[in-house]
Amino acid sequence: MNGPSLRPLAQRSRALSPDQLHAFWRNGYVVVDDILDSTTVDQLRDRYEAVCQEARTSGDFRNFAEQVSNEDEEREVMVINQVCERDLFFNGLLYDTRILDVVEDLMGPYIQLFHDFLLRKPAEHGGSVFWHQDNQAWQSMPPNNITCWIALDDADAENGALRYIAGSHRDTLGMPIDEDGRLENMDRIIAEGDQRVAPVRAGGAVFHHCLTIHGSTPNNSERMRRAHSIIFMQPGTRCGRKPPFNSRPATEGDGFDVSFGHPLLRGTAQR
Ligand SMILES: O=C(O)CCC(=O)C(=O)O
């Protein structure tokens, strides 16, 4: 009988091992060490600091640090959106085959940019990032977006690495959400969930699914924790919200035309 052949995972993937693929789908995230070489990381750090300096001067950035009490007022997580539109080096990184090969293993051969941003958690007063599902903010349909969080410094529990509720992208499927898109049982799911820190060395990356619950703790260490997040989508994805920053669909429910802000990175744009 001639049917589609099911090749072993190892033969179908470009970059990830079968164990890494299984870990991603089981836990909702996977750490990939040494995805970028040290020369690229050094160049990225230079451009990163230049972009941050420009944003600080112009005021064109957000502070994403969680504000729970007055003591948090001095805390900072500097966020700069759509860095790929501000700097050619970051724009080039979108097309890096080392990253796209992993994304292709996770979402298939049609890949478009959803958006990208920098997250700079300074030493000693870096803030925490609240527990969330990325798709709470985006309401993207289908909810298949995948984030590649690239570490520019070694990130660990001391300087506020990412932490995840392992398996929450599966466990929360179909659960009721409130009018903000937040899971109604979010607090209970987090309290009872399998919380895991995801340490990653500079030049490595964590890939996570847009339904995996995650956040990060403050940075009280003497080391910076700099990261760059690139979020990938499948062409044809719709945006359920009109988000508050540039280069997004004009209206709720719109698709994303291929554009400078949302380039097609692999494959063809299916309509
Ligand atoms: O860098 C952090 O602490 C949070 C990052 C995050 O939430 C994301 O990239 O989706």
Residue with CA at minimum distance from ligand 1 atom 9 = 229
Whose tokens are 């790929």? That residue is 84
Pairing of strands 195-197, 264-266: unpaired
Contact 62, 120 (CB under 8 A): no
Cβ(129) – ligand 1 distance below 6 Å: yes
Question: pLDDT, tens digit, for every residue of 156-165?
Answer: 999 999 999 9
Cβ(212) – ligand 1 distance below 6 Å: no
What's the CA-to-centroid distance between 268 and ligand 1, angstroms?
29
pLDDT by residue for the chain (271 residues), tens digit each?
A: 455 566 666 677 889 999 999 999 999 999 999 999 999 999 999 999 999 999 999 999 999 899 888 777 889 999 999 999 999 999 999 999 999 999 999 999 999 999 999 999 999 999 999 999 999 988 899 999 999 999 999 999 999 999 999 999 999 988 998 888 889 999 999 999 999 999 999 999 999 999 999 999 999 999 999 999 999 999 999 988 765 555 566 677 778 888 888 999 998 766 5
Please choose from 216, 226, 228 the residue to mutate so as to test ligand 1's pocket, defined by most ligand atoms within 8 A of CB: 216
Question: pLDDT, tens digit, for every residue of 197-217?
Answer: 999 999 999 999 999 999 999
The model carries a pTM of 0.93
> Which alpha helices (H) appear in 112-159, and where do they start and end?
134-138
Return the pLDDT at 170: 96
Domains and CATH numbers, the chain: 20-241 (2.60.120.620)
